[in-house]
Amino acid sequence: MLKKLVLSSLVLASSIFAAQEVNIYSHRHYDTDKKLFKMFEAKTGIKVNVVKAKANALINRIESEGKNSPADVLITVDAGRLQLAKSKGIFQSIESEYLNANIPKIYRDSDNQWFALTKRARVAVVKKDSGIENEFVTYEDLANPKFKGMIVVRSSSNIYNQSLLAAMIEHHDEAYALSWAKGMVANMARSPKGNDRAQVKAVANGIGKIAIANTYYIGKMVHNKDKSQRDAVAKMKIFFPVFKDGGTHINISGAGVTKYAPNKVNAIKFIEFLASKDAQELFATKSYEYPVLAGTKSSKIVSSWGTFKEDNISINSLGENNAKAVKIFNKASWK
Ligand SMILES: [Fe+2]
State the distance from the centre of ligand 1 to the C-alpha of 19, rounded, in angstroms: 33
pLDDT at 297: 85
State the distance from the centre of ligand 1 to the C-alpha of 197, rounded, in angstroms: 10
CA dihedral 215, 198, 79, 66 (to 10 degrees): -140
Residue type, 171: H
In the DSSP assignment, the letter for residue 135 is G
State the distance from the centre of ligand 1 to the C-alpha of 6, rounded, in angstroms: 52
- Helices 322-331 & 159-171, crossing angle to 10 degrees? 100
In degrees, rounded to 5, the angle at the alpha carbon of residue 224 between the alpha carbons of residues 220 and 227 is 135
State the distance from the centre of ligand 1 to the C-alpha of 80, rounded, in angstroms: 13
- Can you say how many angstroms the Cα of residue 232 is from the centroid of all Cα atoms in its chain? 24
pLDDT at 15: 43
State the distance from the centre of ligand 1 to the C-alpha of 20, rounded, in angstroms: 31
Q: Which of 251, 252, 253, 255 is nearest to 74 (CA)?
A: 255
Provide the b/e sequence for 57-92 (b: ≥16 CB within 10 Å).
Answer: ebbebbeeeeeebbbbbbbbbbbbbbbbbbeeebbb
* Whole-angstrom distance, CA of residue 174 vs CA of residue 1: 77
* Whole-angstrom distance, CA of residue 215 vs CA of residue 288: 8
State the distance from the centre of ligand 1 to the C-alpha of 155, rounded, in angstroms: 14
* Whole-angstrom distance, CA of residue 170 vs CA of residue 315: 10
pLDDT at 28: 80
- 73-77 and 21-26 beta bridge pairing: parallel
Other beta carbons within 10 Å of 142: 21
In the DSSP assignment, the letter for residue 311 is P
pLDDT at 19: 65
- Can you say how many angstroms the Cα of residue 302 is from the centroid of all Cα atoms in its chain? 16
State the distance from the centre of ligand 1 to the C-alpha of 213, rounded, in angstroms: 9
Residue 203 pairs in a beta bridge with none
What pLDDT digit, counting tens, does each position of 184-241 carry?
A: 999 999 999 999 999 999 999 999 999 999 999 999 999 999 999 999 999 999 999 9
**What pTM was estimated for this model as a whole?**
0.88
Domains of the chain: 2-119+251-298 (3.40.190.10), 121-249+308-331 (3.40.190.10)
What pLDDT digit, counting tens, does each position of 287-322 carry?
A: 999 999 999 988 899 999 999 999 999 888 998 999
Reading the chain (335 residues) residue by residue, the pLDDT tens digits are: 445 544 444 444 444 445 699 999 999 877 788 899 999 999 999 999 999 999 999 999 999 999 999 999 999 988 889 999 999 999 999 999 999 999 999 899 999 999 999 999 999 999 999 999 999 999 999 999 999 999 999 999 999 999 999 999 999 999 999 999 999 999 999 999 999 999 999 999 999 999 999 999 999 999 999 999 999 999 999 999 999 999 999 999 999 999 999 999 999 999 999 999 999 999 999 899 999 999 998 889 999 999 999 999 988 899 899 999 999 999 999 99
Residue type, 297: K
